[in-house]
Structures are given as structure tokens and as C-alpha cells.
Amino acid sequence: MIHYSIEELLKNNQSWAAQKRALEPGYFEELSAGQKPPYLYVGCSDSRMPLTRYTQTEPGEIFVHRNIANQVSLTDINFLSVLDYAVFHLQVQHIIVCGHYDCGGITAALEGSTTGLVDNWVNPIRELYFQNQSEIDCLSTREKRINRLAELNVIAQVKNLYQTSILRKCMRENNAPQIHGWVLNLKTGLIQDMKIKTSIWGLYTPNSELLSSSTSNNFER
Ligand SMILES: [Zn+2]
């Protein structure tokens, strides 16, 4: 892959902005007036995971939090601030947790292939592997093992989302955004909706339709 130089990045920006202005003269004035995105995206920091590209969305449509292996940590003040702001101020209607196959963070957790802070960060995924070791170890290839753990990781992070005080407050008040677990296949560029069946977790919600809307689930085997 050929990478642009820093100077080329700035030139690209100028030509992109000029094209936008030519197509829609008021585009940037409208953009600068404020944001009301309907989506919060919790994704992996991986450079191959800009959700806006995969979904053909524009600036102003998706509020974003990304970290290595799309973790929803109940002690991460950065993530919790984003979630609080997205839910209570922006009033997003959907939260998308999107992992991906061939994820380096998942591989690091599964194989212990990294050292330093990342090794600490992915420890919850390593714990998740130990919880599901019998299922994962039975898979026939390394790729399948890594990708299955990526799926289980998305399910675990969706569950974590429901455990935050922010979502619990929303559910008590019956105005929680819909939460979606997705996994992106880098080999095809396609996103799969995991249709996570949250009702099995016995989470409190007065909106039972929200938590039992998915009746078929191919991912949580
Ligand atoms: Zn990743």
C-alpha cells in the first residue's frame, strides 16, 4: 500500500473541501452549526476500521469512540464520557459496537503476541477466551479461532454497555437507544449484524421489545 506524504494529505484536504464547496456551497457552514448524529460507533482503533467509509456516511452522522479491540470498559473515563455525552446530550438513537475479523488486539489476547500496555488492555479478552476455551480450541484453523473470539468479544462488549450506569438509567426511564453488535469482515468489506439476543442476560428493562427483538442468533452458539 502506498501512503501519502504529510504534504499530500494537506493537499488532499484542500481538493476535497473545494469539491464539497463546489457541489454544495453551504456544506461547511451547515456542518459548523452543530451536530445531531443519530449513531454512536464504538469500534477498534485499527486503521482499516473507519466506519464512515464502509457505510457511506458523512461528517455529522456518527459520533465515535475507538480503542484497541473495541472495548467497553466500565472504568474507562474516556469511553464513559463519550457514552454519557452521546446518550444524554446528543440523544443518539443507536449505539453500534463494531469489531472485525483479523483484529490484532484479539490476536494479541489469544496468543500473547504483544507486550507493554496493550497486553494489559487486552486482558479482558484473554479472560473471555478462557471462559470459552473449549469452544474456541475446537476450531480447525488459527483464523477461525481469532475470528470467533472477535465475535464473542463484540457480544461481551454489548453486554458491558448494558451494565453501565448510563444505559441502566436509560432503561429505567424506558428511553434507551438501540444497541447493535456488528462484525466487519476485512476480506470482503462487508458488515454482519450479529443480532445479539440480549434477553438471555436477564437485564432489567421495561422495554422488553428492545431486549428481545432478535429471535434468531447465529453468533451466540
Ligand atoms: Zn482490531
pLDDT, tens digit, 9 for 90 and up, residues 119-128: 999 999 999 9
Residue 84 is assigned to a structural domain of this protein: yes
Residue 174 is assigned to a structural domain of this protein: yes
- Whether pLDDT at 215 is above 50: no
**What is the total count of domains within the chain?**
2
Number of residues that make up the chain: 221
In whole angstroms, what is the distance from residue 126 CA to residue 100 CA?
Answer: 17
Please state, in angstroms and as integers, the Cα–Cα distance from residue 173 to each residue in 115, 167, 168, 209, 212, following that order: 43, 10, 9, 14, 18
- Whether pLDDT at 221 is above 60: no
Distance in Å, CA 16 to ligand 1 centroid: 28
Do 198 and 165 share a structural domain?
A: yes
pLDDT at 2: 86
Do 68 and 5 share a structural domain?
A: no
What is the overall mean pLDDT for the chain? 92
Do 118 and 131 share a structural domain?
A: yes
User: What are the residue numbers of the active site?
Assistant: 44, 46, 48, 100, 103
Do 149 and 51 share a structural domain?
A: yes
Distance in Å, CA 91 to ligand 1 centroid: 27
Do 70 and 14 share a structural domain?
A: no
**What DSSP element (H or E) covers 185?**
strand 178-185
- Per-residue pLDDT tens digits for 132-152: 999 999 999 999 999 999 999
Residue 197 is assigned to a structural domain of this protein: yes
Do 155 and 53 share a structural domain?
A: yes
β-strand pairing of 94-100 with 39-44? parallel
Q: Which residue has the cell 488492555?
A: 121
- Whether pLDDT at 64 is above 90: yes
The confidence band for 213, taking pLDDT boundaries of 50, 70 and 90, is: very low
Residue 116 is assigned to a structural domain of this protein: yes
- Whether pLDDT at 212 is above 60: no
- Whether pLDDT at 46 is above 50: yes
Do 81 and 20 share a structural domain?
A: no
pLDDT at 219: 60
Distance in Å, CA 139 to ligand 1 centroid: 20
* Proportion of the chain above pLDDT 90, given as a percent: 84
In whole angstroms, what is the distance from residue 202 CA to residue 129 CA?
Answer: 23
- Which structural domain range is residue 123 located in? 35-204
- Whether pLDDT at 79 is above 50: yes
Do 46 and 25 share a structural domain?
A: no
Do 90 and 22 share a structural domain?
A: no
Q: Which amino acid is at 194?
A: M
